[in-house]
Amino acid sequence: MSNNLISLVEKNIQPKNWFGSDDQLNGIYPLNVARKASSFLAAENNVRILDIGSGVGKFCLAAAFYKPTAFYYGVEQRASLIYCSNVVKRRLGLKNVSFIHANFTQVDFSNYDHFYFFNAFYENLAGTDKIDDSIDYSGELYNYYNRYLYKQLEQKPAGTRLATYHSMEDEVPKGYHIVGSEVDNLLKFWIKI
């Protein structure tokens, strides 16, 4: 996927063409999910939204385009995916998105207002597809990451918004309530009460 993404970026493609329809970016960017999630998360101006396990930046890049009054941060532990994210960011000229090369456990959650989570931990489970073999995988890591995220979200104040996509909901504390869902109930919107 990374080579295809870089090939697209290296061509003279204008941002308005990239984000014109789902068909134009189908397979690279989940545009309908990014549109809906960013509309929910960026309900106010100047909020800081963290994408936990941002991969090649799919959500952050599309959301930054659709909701330019918010700031998007993607944290990803694979350097090659951060590289791709930054190539696309520069090519599109987006100023409201940044990518952090780190494990999400190294990020201070108090710096962010709202969160997007596309089940980044799932690949740690046996029998699942892996992005690559550049990191360690284990059921123990899956459980550790879920508990860690749960504790971080639990510490956030009332009003914190969370959008989950393809989540098993193990990481969502009881104080968060579903206020909506889309995409056959795979995309869920939560607010901490």
CATH code, domain carrying 20: 3.40.50.150
Residue 138 confidence (pLDDT): 85
> β-pairing, 97-101 with 187-192?
unpaired
Backbone phi, psi, residue 189, to 5° = -110, 130
Backbone phi, psi, residue 49, to 5° = -115, 125
Number of Cβ within 10 Å of residue 129's Cβ equals: 6
Cβ-based burial of 10 (10 A; exposed 0-12, middle 13-18, buried ≥19):
exposed
Query: Do the beta carbons of residue 68 and residue 134 sit within 8 Å?
Result: no
Ranges under pLDDT 50 in the chain: 1-6, 8-13, 27-29
**Number of helical H runs and strand E runs in the chain:** 7, 7
Residue 156 confidence (pLDDT): 98
Model pTM score: 0.85
Residue 16 confidence (pLDDT): 55
What is the rounded distance in angstroms from the CA atom of residue 138 to the CA atom of residue 177? Answer: 29
64: three-class secondary structure by DSSP? helix
Range of the domain at 133: 2-192
Residue 179 confidence (pLDDT): 98
CA 49 to chain centre: 9
How many residues are recorded in the chain?
A: 193
Token match 């350097």: residue?
A: 79
**Number of separate domains in the chain:** 1
Query: Do the beta carbons of residue 85 and residue 76 sit within 8 Å?
Result: yes
At 5-50, the pLDDT tens digits run 445 444 444 555 555 655 655 544 458 999 999 999 999 999 999 9
